[in-house]
Amino acid sequence: MMEGFSTVSEYKNKVVVKLPQVRLTTPLSGDMVENLRAGQRVYLNGIVYTGRDAAHKRLAEIMDLGKELPFELEGQVIYYVGPSPARPGRIIGSAGPTTSGRMDLYAPGLYARGLKATIGKGRRSPDVISAMRRYKGVYLAAVGGAAALISRSIKEAGVIAYPELGPEAIYRLVVEDFPAIVVNDTLGGDLYDEGIKIYSVE
């Protein structure tokens, strides 16, 4: 799956920076994350945790009480997804990203505790972007709606917390060359802003 995604934009002679595609393995180190740049294509390998609205609310409550989280955050990656149920014999159903903005309230606290990356789709708030700069984290976008394609890169899946939340439970996934693109890097780069700058027509 390493082909695809040219991150070079020659249009209007603007922003012509060639960024190498990179294969990352979790847990992510500070160095790995700080070397990433907005627009760079990445392929994730290793363990990734899922979490969306209801699970984040619970994680925030636990942190407020000073209790232990269901998984260690240091160097980890949270994928904002609520998968569809697996048909018999399959590892997981479809598993594309959900809108990240709904988790913005919770994300800065998680980056502060060592979370290194989140994966979703859509814009992050200024608070999350500044938390990523401060605590050296990144935000990656997966292709919204490419859920059947993405599920092929998920090799193991099991619920590790809050099974009663159904699709909102926290899963521990093992992924192989999970395709994503860096939207926000640790220097404040934002691919969504860049894209509009290049392709909008006055």
Partner 1 sequence: MLDGLQKAYEQEISPNGKEIIRQLLMNAGIAREERVPMCQDTGCAVVFVDLGQDVRIVGGDFYEAINEGVRKGYKEGYLRKSIVSHPLERKNTGDNTPAVIHTKIVPGENLRITVAPKGGGSENMSAVKMLKPSEGVEGVKKFVLEVVKAAGPDPCPPVVVGVGIGGTFEKAALLAKEALLRDLGEKSKHPDIAKLEEEILTEVNKLGIGPQGLGGRTTALAVHIEIFAAHIASLPVAVNINCHAARHKEIVL
User: Is the separation of the CB atoms in 73 and 63 below 8 Å?
Assistant: no
Q: Of 131, 137, 91, 99, which Cα lies nearest the Cα of 118?
A: 137
The nearer residue to partner 1, 75 or 144, going by C-beta atoms, is 144
Tokens encoding 167: 């699709």
Site residues for partner 1, 84-123, by CB under 8 A, read 84-87, 90, 93-96, 98-99, 101, 121-123
Question: Interacting stretch for partner 1, rule CB under 8 A, among 1-9, 60-68, 107-115, 126-134?
Answer: 1-9
CA distance 93 to 79: 15
Six-digit token string for 88: 């018999």
Tokens of 170: 């926290």
Q: Is 199 in the site for partner 1 (CB under 8 A)?
A: yes
- What is the token pair recorded at 36? 């990433």
Minimum Å gap between C-beta 71 and partner 1 is: 21
CB of 40 to partner 1, least distance (A): 11
Q: Does residue 169 sit in helix, strand or coil?
A: coil
Distance CA 152, CA 104 (A): 28
Whether 56 is catalytic: yes
Q: How far apart are CA 48 and CA 184, in angstroms?
A: 19
The residue within the footprint of partner 1, chosen from 181, 184, 185, 186 (CB under 8 A), is 181
Does residue 146 bind partner 1 (CB under 8 A)?
yes
Minimum CB–partner distance for residue 182 and partner 1 (Å): 11
List residues near partner 1 by CB under 8 A: 4-9, 11, 54, 81-87, 90, 93-96, 98-99, 101, 121-123, 141, 143-149, 151-152, 165-168, 179, 181, 191-192, 194-201
Active-site residues, by number, are 56
